[in-house]
Structure 1
Amino acid sequence: MYASAIFGFFLLVLVIIMLYRVYSLDKVERDNRVTVKKFLEDYEALKPSRYSYADVKRITSQFKDKLGQGGYGTVYKGKLSDEVFVAVKILNNSQGNGEEFINEVAIMGTIHHVNIVRLIGFCADRFKRALIYEYLPNESLEKFIFSRAIKNYLLSWKKLQEIAIGIAKGIEYLHQGCDQRILHFDIKPHNILLDHNFNPKISDFGLAKLCSKEQSAVSMTVIRGTMGYIAPEVLSRNFGNVSYKSDVYSFGMLLLEMVGGRKNIDVSVESSSQVYFLEWIYNHLDIGEELHIRIEEERDVEIVKKLAIVGLSCIQWCPMDRPSMNIVVQMLEGGDKLTMPPNPFASTVSTKTNLSKPRRVFQ
């Protein structure tokens, strides 16, 4: 009887162990199913959805709240639900051959980065085309760096540095983080949007171009970009091949505009001041003089100097002399003292003469 009791006890323990293992395996399987389901839901949510034009009118409340207007279309504020706001760009039928629409959907629908605007959906309903993006309440960087007379729009130099680093990381992702390299060709303050925490997000991929990472140059039949931000080689092949370094040039111009608080081409100021403004920045730094630009704290001086030096490095006329965005990020984040780059404003004659002299070449 004693032996049968021991046997019964071991049998009970064995049954309990087996039941526990079955329960554990079942729980793992249930957890796996939940994980897969969540992944599929998230994946589906990340893919841009297609909307009808009737949906677009409903989302925008019959185009009630206009946010802005540009050459390619008009942007309205919309609402997908009580908590999800969006920005809806209605594309002009008269502009282009649909290339911007195709670029935006094809490129933005496949990339995801914290510093790139998310494309939520699109509309292609007969002749009506629209793009639906996440809504960013602080609008564009342009408002904050060209409106310094308005006190509420002022951003600290620390915040401007963080914004510059975020933009640089976004461009670096486009150049190196995707299956194919993406050249934006229209980096400028207007196309940098800011979320509620002033985190920057690159927008407007209508002029973007795809190429392989091994491709050292891209062919172009038309000039892409906005005057004042277009790299010299995009305008004339005499300055070199068009490549990802063209985006670096545009980013450099953006940085210098952040430093100066004004456009690099500004029709509202006297021509003599306009032409020499960026060169004025270079000359002051070159001879060790301070840039007497809105400084509120002692540490601001070093931030301004860093942004200016990185910007000047990025706008070198020869593409080979510009750093890659990977190096730009390191320069902006690093604590090391940066050295002055060559003068990018030297005359064409002196530039040609200096081609034979040793120079720093960035890869």
Structure 2
Amino acid sequence: MASVFLFVFLFLSHLVFLYSAVGEVIYPPGCPPFVCGTVGMIRFPFADDTSPECGLLILHDCGDPRQMKTPKIKLERNGTLLSYDVETISQANIIQFKDPQLQSVLDSNRCESLKNWPLPSPRSPFISFHLVSRNLNLFKCDRTLNIPPPTGFNRTNCSNYDIYYSPPHYNLTLAPPKCPIIQLPWNWQYKGNDLFRLLSAKISLEVRVTEDCRECHSEGGQCKTDNKGESYCTKGTKGNNRSRVVLMIALVTSFAGIGVLMVIICYFLGLLSFTKTIFLWKKQTLTYQSVEAFIKNHGPLGIRRYSYLDIKKMTNTFKYKLGQGGYGGVYKGKLKDGRFVAVKVLKESKGNGEEFLNEVASISRTSHVNIVTLMGFCFEYSKRALIYEFMPNGSLEKFIYKDFSTNVDRQLAWETSYKIAVCIARGLEYLHRGCNTRILHFDIKPHNILLDENFCPKISDFGLAKICSREESIISMVGARGTIGYIAPELFCRNFGGVSHKSDVYSYGMMILEMIGGRKNIDVSVDRTSEIYFPHWIYKRLELDKELGLQGLINKEDEESARKMIIVSLWCIQTDPSNRPSMSKVVDMLEGSLDFLQMPPKPFLSSPPRTPVDSSTATILL
């Protein structure tokens, strides 16, 4: 055993040696936040034109903060550099600016001038833009075609053609045929029918910086590209050739010490037999190869890959646990630039890393304000982790159920609940229609809906998701997947219909009903048998035109929002998938008038018997 202690001593000595070598590196000072005109305090990736080295997006005309000028930003559109008036920049790096050319067109009230305006693009290769604001869909129809206005569309007469327009979530099957589509920013605050007031010149974009560039800046460096277009980070150092040699020697000897130390420990303690070692090595190698092959075949995912040592550092060795699930634990972490993240550490997969690949493959394809952002991942044989943006308010379930919401202050106001329901619907609509490929989530439930500091919901946990083509309406699947209490009937029995995006619609409906009732849909603790199954109980109250009997309804607006949520969710949980609306239609119904909503048929599934089993939290992973 003396040899073991000797190598431990040598190993620790090398680590100290390594630390001293690395410690010689000194980076340039960072750039502090500053006030820019009417925008207020800004920070990286934005910078003032007086200090362009401090950022990637340069603001002009910041001036004296007391003058409260409107800053401008120059962006490219169709190869031309244009200037835009910046109105706001949020802490989440969402920038809102006004397009002066588009504003001039809207001020002229001339429909002949309406055309598609492509989004501007950043000049920096380290920046990407993601649209946050929503567009209104216009259809420019030649009048000689005599096309009647589709149901739900408005019309504006122009000189030689008509323009038909509808809410952003229009039904494609109802769109006027043979009419070119024009998409322009929507002024959602205006509720009238004037076309030019429905349109807006304001555009909101989420600014995303590559993780490597963000880390480079946090260390005092600048992101650059060479003649070949390859990116690199420029940093100031105080070291010399001697320090590099010292660092290399420390690295080599440290790794050699680790290897010898592990062999001696395994030999003396007898932890692994030779046969078991070979078996584990082969198993991990096959899994490792399958995941590595996926990453290689699918090209850059736009997210950073971390080592397991990085994961331990950012979580302070898993000090603060945020939650636990069947997949593993979630821990609070912190990146080098100071941003907080949620780190989901996965248990060892039963198969060849299917669940891990599933989540990385599906969520890396998304970019939506109501979908949680995957910021990185770790894969080192059996060590797997996913790094997400941190959501301060946690999951939605904390604000729904009585066992969570013991504090009255944690119960959501009806206005907030309604906005959350609409935003989740938009996120699901994006997964079903907005991506290049259709993504079916298959595990929509309150636990998988996360809330940011402003209670903006984001759909998370794509471990059970399935990616399919847009044209694929019915998909094949072996066994059910999801959580009991939210799984659509067709996932259990194909006699109810085929599995499709309508399965997510069912889960959404069941979840919204739980938000409405503030309880599980199946609750055996209630006094009367008729109240065990909440969907039937609330349906009966609507059917008999009774008071809803829900807590927190304080005005007419709350009552209307609650009724819309109830009717829409009851449509969503129809047993026959063909009777359920699409998520696009769900958004239309929620944002439309209550007067136009029809009462759905009564859900076919009956109330379950009174048993003490609460199966709504059991998860099926097949």
Per-residue CA deviation, residues 305-343 of structure 1 (Å, 9 max, x unaligned), is 111000100000000000000000001111242121011
Higher relative contact order (CA 8 A, sep 6+): 1
- 1:39 and 1:119 map into 2 onto residues whose CA distance is 16
Q: How does 1:224-263 map to 2 (within 5 A)?
A: 224-263=481-520
Partners of 1:127 and 1:225 lie apart in 2 by 24
Question: Partners of 2:572 and 2:363 in 1: how far apart?
Answer: 25
Q: CA RMSD in A?
A: 2.4
Equivalent position amino acid for 1:220 in 2: M
Aligned residue among 333, 337, 345 for 2:591: 333
Deviates more, 1:208-217 or 1:177-186: 208-217
Q: CA deviation at 1:298?
A: 3.0
Tell me the TM-score normalised to structure 2 length.
Answer: 0.49
Written as runs of structure 1 = structure 2, the 5 A alignment for 1:42-57 is 42=208, 44-45=210-211, 47-57=302-312
Aligned to 1:308: 566
Question: How many Å apart are 1:43 and its aligned residue?
Answer: 6.3
Contact 1:233 1:240 in 2 (8 A): yes
One-letter amino acid of the structure 1 residue matched with residue 333 of structure 2? G
CA distance in 1, matches of 2:557, 2:122: 50
Spell out, residue by residue over 1:231-290, the C-alpha distance to the aligned partner (whole angstroms, 9 max, x if none): 000000010000000000000001111110001134555693564322010011012112
Alignment of 1:116-265 (within 5 A): 116-147=371-402, 148-265=405-522
Q: Distance in 1 between matches of 2:567 and 2:325?
A: 32
Equivalent residue, structure 2, for 1:297: 555
**Higher share in helix:** 1
Does the CA contact (< 8 Å) of 1:141 and 1:190 recur in 2? yes
TM-score of the pair, normalised by structure 1: 0.83
The alpha carbon displacement at 1:156 in A equals 0.9
Q: CA separation in 1, counterparts of 2:385 and 2:525? A: 34
Residue by residue over 1:294-313, the C-alpha shift from the partner in whole angstroms, topping out at 9 and shown as x without a partner, is 12223211111111000100
Which residue matches 1:91? Answer: 346
In the TM superposition, what is the alpha-carbon distance from 1:222 to its structure 2 partner?
2.0
| Unmatched tracts of structure 2, length 5 or more | 1-79, 84-119, 129-206, 212-300, 608-622
- The share of aligned pairs that are identical, in percent, is 57
- Residues 68, 212 of structure 1: CA spacing in aligned structure 2 closer, same or farther, 3 A cutoff? same
Aligned amino acid, residue 393 of structure 2: N
Moved more, 178-187 or 265-274: 265-274
- SS of residue in 2 equivalent to 1:293: coil
Residues 72 and 95 in structure 1, CA contact (< 8 A), matched pair in contact too: no
* Structure 1 unaligned spans of 5+: 1-27, 349-363
Partner of 2:76: none
SS in 1 for 2:484: coil
Q: In structure 2, do the counterparts of structure 1 residues 105 and 53 end up closer, same or farther at CA, with 3 Å as the change threshold?
A: same
Shift of 1:107: 1.1
Using the TM superposition, name which of 87-96 and 262-271 deviates more. 262-271
User: Map of 1:57-72 to 2, 5 A cutoff?
Assistant: 57-72=312-327
* 8 Å Cα contact 2:522-2:533 kept in structure 1: no
- Size of the alignment, in residue pairs? 321
> What is the SS of the residue equivalent to 2:323?
strand
Match of 1:77 in 2: 332
User: Which residue identity lines up with residue 44 of structure 1 in the other structure?
Assistant: T
Q: Deviations over 1:78-133 (max 9, x none)?
A: 00035300000110115554222101111111211000000000000121000100
Q: 1:347 to 1:139 in 2, by over 3 A?
A: closer
Whichever residue aligns with residue 107 of structure 1, its letter is S
Q: Is the 8 A contact 1:194 1:200 kept in 2?
A: yes
Corresponding position of 2:541: 284
2: CA distance, partners of 1:134 / 1:70? 18
Distance 1:102 1:218 in 2: 19
For the Cα contact (< 8 Å) 1:89–1:130, is it kept in 2? yes
1:101 alignment partner in structure 2 = 356
**Larger Rg belongs to:** 2
Could you tell me which of 572, 578, 602 is aligned with 1:320? Answer: 578
Q: Does 1:345 align with 2:604?
A: yes
Looking at structure 2, the residues matched to 325 and 341 of structure 1 have their Cα atoms a distance apart, in angstroms, of 16
* Contact kept in structure 1, 2:363 and 2:462, CA below 8 Å: yes
Q: Is the 8 A contact 1:72 1:92 kept in 2?
A: yes
Is the partner of 1:35 in helix, strand or coil? Answer: coil
Superposed displacement of residue 64, structure 1: 0.2
Equivalent-residue separation in structure 2 for 1:89 and 1:164 (angstroms): 25
Task: Give me the whole-angstrom Cα distance separating, in 1, the residues matched to 2:124 and 2:308.
Answer: 33
Q: Give runs of aligned pairs for residues 9-24 of structure 1, distance below 5 A.
A: none
